[in-house]
Amino acid sequence: MKRIGFYSGSFDPITLGHMDVIARSAALVDRLVIGVGVHPSKTPMFAAAERVDMLETETAPIAAKTGAEIVIDTFDNLAIEAARSAKASVIFRGLRDANDFDYEMQMAGMNGAMAPDVQTVFVAASPEVRHIAANLVRQVAMMGGDVSHFVSGAVADRLAEKVRQTIG
């Protein structure tokens, strides 16, 4: 039986913290579906197609290393419904700190009530990436700061280009 996991987020942009969770999650399953959340009420820096493209590029080496099939998909409904559509038996959630833990425990409880057959597995962020948050990365980039400690070189380049397009 194929073990399928689901990891969701906005990935706006994909950070080294996301990559840490993806790498460790992919090592535990045969197939990892990464769900890129698309919410009509939010205005992301990167369009969904750009985020998918970045994820495909960034996760290819992880798939090669772990042997896990990594699939990137978008969703605009509840993450638990997207996980069920992907036939996932586990949802992976990254934890950076106690605030994440409290929120994610509530979500795990809600998801467990809606889909008791889907388990939530928490992946504690590695110490070297624990401080990284995508919203802060966007802020640093928009203010002309160096984001190279928080994202890959390719993502840093795309952020710089997006800032140039935005600011003009």
Q: What is the spatial distance between Cα 146 and Cα 110, in angstroms, rounded to a whole number?
A: 38
- pLDDT at position 168 over 80: no
The pLDDT value given to residue 39: 87
Which pair of tokens denotes residue 92? 């992976």
Q: Tell me the pLDDT of the chain averaged across its residues.
A: 96
The pLDDT value given to residue 42: 82
Mean pLDDT of 53-76: 98
Query: What is the assigned CATH class of domain 4-130?
Result: alpha beta
Mean pLDDT of 51-69: 98
